[in-house]
Chain A
Amino acid sequence: MRLSSIVVKKNLLLKMGFTVALFFFVSLFAFQFLESTKFFPIGVDTVYAAEQAVTAEKPAGAEAKPDAKKEEYQPAPKLTEKDYPQVKGINGRIMAWLVAQLHLWFAAFVLAVPILVFIVEIIGMATKDKRYDKMAYEFIKVSLTAYSITAVFGGLLLFTLVIFYPDFMRYMANIFSPTMLAYAFLFFAESACLYIYYYGWHAMEEGTAKWVHLTIGWMLNIIGTVLMFLANAWVSFMMSPHGVDAAGVFEGNIWHAIHNHLWNPLNLHRTVANVAYGGSIIGAYAAYKFLSARNTEEKAHYDWMGYTANFIAICGLLPLPFAGYWLIAEIYAYSQQMGITLMGGVFAWLFIIQAVLIGALFLSVNYYLWCGMERSKGAERYTKYIKYIAFVIVACFLVWFTPHTLIMTPGELKALGGPYHKYLGPLGIMPAKNTAVNIMLIFTFLSFLLYRRCNKIATVSWAPIGNAIQAAIFVAAIINICILGIYYGYFTNTVLKVGSSVPQVASTLFVIISCMIIDVFMFKGAKEVAPLQWGKIPDRSQYALFILAVSFTWLMGLMGFIRSAIRQHWHVYTVFRDNSPDAFTPTIGYATKVVSIGVIIFMAIVIFIFWLAHISGKKNVSQGAHH
């Protein structure tokens, strides 16, 4: 045992040393850069600043105020193509795009895992079920290597931006330098928390120490979230600049720049999506381990882990459309021009692709639940409902991805008499899509409810009433959603049209929450029809988990592109123009190729991480056996 603990320590030192060294290097570079922004190429100012620095020693006059040395801010520079350095053989934009996207994927993953781990650890503490603790530890182990890789890509991103977009970075640094410094220090704190959290896991497993451990996990999450919010501020500032005037001159209040119009919608959207994303990646990990498991015990463990991860992913997935809806509504509120670019023009097609991907996500989630019913013999009572659920989901899905603009051959156009299709036309606009997606969510939830009760029979006396109430809630909600979608969506004015989506969402959420509550009480102390056999699930179901992870990654890449691309030819929307040769908006095909390449790189690295976790696990097992 002693040897293995030394190995662990050496490992720890190596990793910590590596990350810290990398970080020092990057921050050194960053400081240098921030420093250089302070020199303005003008006469009086510099003279004055120097003089001020000398006279600062003397007691200042009575009138001198502390903010007297307030920095002067420059308007956003007007750049020309020559201001963007070219490196032969490398396209700066694609480089920055890929690196930023890879950084974001890893960051989303390493931010999500501590959230999941923290929750799983609490569940483990509450239920005193050791399995949860073991799984939580495995989660965090997987994310540890990803953490260093996130830092690597973060550093690479900084380099890339400084090399290819120096003036832009200088401008941003001028406004955001305090937050950039805070970011750097928080990153240290985050690393410290993570290492203590991970390496102290077994040392702090019992009694009060567990509470200390949990607190560290809590801090880890808080710091991680603040880090993300800071980064979100920079990004959302680029979309909806605030705290600067029309020429881009910073007004001096950094809180205004951080708390810009899209900051909070973006924060919410990214936090929720991170949870779903983290769940899906862990799910893929479990699926891989399940497929390569050698014995039933391992199979059962990874089946259970995959199920839990998938469950978390669904929990994140369900509220995601609503968070996205809020973000888009806020984009419209901030700038209608930007909103129209987003929804009406070239990008309208991107939402058709998005619809296909989200459909794939829903189908695979449902498929996994249906396959999961194989785990118990008692599920046979419910399998006959699968076909109806499948039918509704696919019908809704087809409505959802019917485009507003149909692609037609001239022959079809002639036959139809024009671009407008009598039956598909109404399906192409938002009310139909909102209705479809809400019904899709409700039926996915129904799949989940059926899965939950596949091995149970409710024993409480009011079970028939409970079932009836649940059925009534489902029916009422679906009718409500349809009326809202069809009547208010098509036959009233725009305000009601857009407004009607809110009660639709409320109906869906009401179904989910109320039925879940009824279910929990109804199946308290329920009788088991047949035991739930973990590991008894067909191999093909695991591929649903892979689809989930891959689609999610690809979708994030695509949506990241849209979010960034709706700024069009602006670095900072309407304030700081992008005049680089790459300022053009690419076609969808071009963008999706870049995204696909990014996903493949990401997946390759993720597989590498899994493999690392795999061999390090092997080593410990064999050494443990030796002693």
Chain B
Amino acid sequence: MKTFLKVVIFSVAVILFYAFYANVMIPQVRPAPPPAEAKLDMGSLTMEQFIHMGDEIFHGKGTCELCHNPVGGRAPLLDQVGKIAEERIKDPRYKGKAKTGEEYIRESMKEPSTFVVAGFGVKGTNDTQSPMPVVTSGAIGLKDFEVDAVIAYFQQKAGVTVTVQLPKETPKATEETHVADPAKSGEEVVTKYGCGACHKIAGQQGALGPDLTKIGAKKNKDYLRRAVLNPNADIAPGFPAGMMPPDFGTKMLSGEFEILIDYMVKSK
């Protein structure tokens, strides 16, 4: 028992010595608290948070990176667009209304066909028509302040002065949660979710994805359901994987989904 006590006292003394050393002999530096996370409180948004938001939109919600990446070569790279934009306005082919780089970028996002960078137009249109969807409509549906955030991000990335103004006030909550009316027909679904940006379907002329005007003749219902919900499960030959947004399953209403599938099956 005596040994037992001795050993216990000794061990506890060693532990206490270490604790004492770490608490008394070592300066107690208080680490900085975790940085505040960007909140969607527009009133008190800082430019840094705003730029960060643009960054996230570019890589996420805006789906911009699907085409504007160095791998596919489908669309121009945008690292330096903040700088290049000003040169574009001076291009003799440019016919738009933009006076500044900021306006040019905004215009190219809202009206992509105003100016198409040489070699990136829809095939056969001699660079007069852009394959890019309008980012404020359809499935992407960016709000104006989100477009601004992306522009701020581009300008910051290119190292030029950020000219975009911060949004003045929080957009109304109703606007944020506003749900569009359910689409009633196949064409409406296609328009609502911007399928035509990439696919040839329902009279739209997208050229990035497979032609879907005769898809019903080739594929059955199961295949089409899977192709929408999990686009990378099967890849049509000649098209790269990972291009189609994988989140239609979470966006579409189930009624719309059924309408779309029926529409495609009937497209023979």
Contact = CB atoms under 8 A, between A and B. Distances in A.
Touch between chains A and B, by CB atoms below 8 Å: yes
A615 to B, nearest CB: 13
Contacts of A94: none
Contact of B249 (A44, A353, A550, A593): A44
B249 A48 contact: yes
A587 B26 CA distance: 10
A65 B233 contact: yes
Given A43-B253, A48-B249, A349-B27, A67 B233 contact: yes
Interface string A75-113: 000000000000000000000000000000000000000
A551 B3 CA distance: 20
B223 interface: yes
B14 A551 contact: yes
B37 A579 contact: yes
B34 A568 contact: yes
Interface string B1-40: 0011011101110111011011100111111011101000
Contacts of B37: 577, 579
Interface in B125-144: none
Nearest to A292: B3
A588 interface: yes
28 contacts: A42-B250, A44-B229, A44-B249, A44-B253, A44-B257, A45-B250, A47-B254, A48-B249, A55-B222, A63-B220, A65-B233, A70-B230, A72-B230, A247-B59, A288-B4, A288-B7, A291-B6, A346-B31, A356-B18, A546-B11, A550-B11, A578-B34, A579-B37, A587-B30, A592-B18, A599-B15, A600-B12, A603-B12
Given A61-B223, A247-B60, A546-B11, A70 B31 contact: no
A589 B22 contact: yes
A288 B37 CA distance: 53
A43 B21 CA distance: 58
A596 interface: yes
A569 interface: yes
Interface string A266-297: 00000000000000000000011001100000
A585 interface: yes
Contact of A357 (B18, B234, B246): B18
Given A579-B37, A589-B22, A547 B14 contact: yes
A415 interface: no
B21 A596 contact: no
> Which 7 residue pairs spanning A and B have beta carbons closest together?
A569-B34, A592-B22, A585-B31, A589-B23, A596-B19, A291-B3, A292-B3
A63 B223 contact: yes
A6 interface: no
B250 A65 contact: no
Nearest to B18: A554
A68 interface: yes
A583 interface: yes
B106 interface: no
Nearest to A403: B26
Given A346-B31, A349-B27, A43 B15 contact: no
